[in-house]
Chains A and B, each alone.
Chain A
Amino acid sequence: MDSPLAMDVAFHLGPVPITPPVLVTWAIMLVLGLGAIVVSRRLALRPGTLQTVLEMAVEAVDDQVRGTMQADPAPYRALIGTLFLFILAANWSSLIPGVEPPTAHLETDAALAGIVFAATIWFGIRAQGVTGWLKTFAEPSWAMIPLNLVEQVTRNVSLVLRLFGNVMSGVFVIGIVLSLAGLLVPIPLMALDMLTGAVQAYIFAVLATVFIGSATGAEGAPPAPPETPAQPQKGKGS
Chain B
Amino acid sequence: MNNYVEIASILAAAIAVGLGSIGPAIAEGRAVAAALEAIARQPEAAGTLSRTLFVGLAMIETMAIYCLVIALLVLFANPFTG
Contacts and interface: CB of A to CB of B under 8 A. Distances in A.
Interface string A94-135: 000000000000000000000000000000000000000000
Contact of B48 (A67, A161, A210): A67
Interface in B38-82: 43-48, 50-51, 53-55, 58, 61-62, 65-66, 68-69, 72-73, 76-77
B58 A162 contact: yes
Main secondary structure of the interface of A (DSSP, over half): helix
Nearest to B53: A235
Interface in A196-236: 199-200, 202-203, 206-207, 210, 227, 230-236
A235 B57 CA distance: 12
Contacts of A235: 50-51, 53-54
Interface string A49-87: 000000000000000100110000000000000000000
Given A3-B76, A67-B48, A230-B44, A206 B65 contact: no
A164 interface: yes
A16 interface: no
A158 interface: yes
Contact of A199 (B47, B54, B77): B54
B36 to A, nearest CB: 13
A212 B73 CA distance: 31
B58 to A, nearest CB: 4
A164 B70 CA distance: 13
B77 A206 contact: no
A231 B50 CA distance: 12
Given A158-B62, A207-B58, A232-B46, A67 B76 contact: no
Contacts, number: 63
Contacts of A165: 65-66, 68-69
A149 B58 CA distance: 22
Given A203-B54, A235-B51, A230 B76 contact: no
Contacts of B77: 3, 5
A169 B68 contact: yes
A230 B42 CA distance: 11
A5 B76 contact: yes
A234 B69 contact: no
Interface of B: 43-48, 50-51, 53-55, 58, 61-62, 65-66, 68-69, 72-73, 76-77
Leading 9 A-B pairs by shortest Cβ distance = A165-B65, A235-B50, A3-B76, A230-B44, A203-B58, A233-B47, A232-B46, A158-B62, A165-B68
Given A161-B69, A162-B61, A230-B45, 12 more contacts: A3-B76, A5-B73, A5-B76, A161-B62, A161-B66, A165-B66, A206-B51, A230-B44, A230-B47, A232-B44, A232-B46, A233-B47
19 contacts: A3-B76, A4-B72, A5-B72, A5-B77, A64-B51, A67-B48, A68-B51, A162-B61, A162-B62, A162-B65, A207-B55, A207-B58, A230-B44, A230-B45, A231-B47, A232-B43, A232-B47, A233-B50, A234-B50
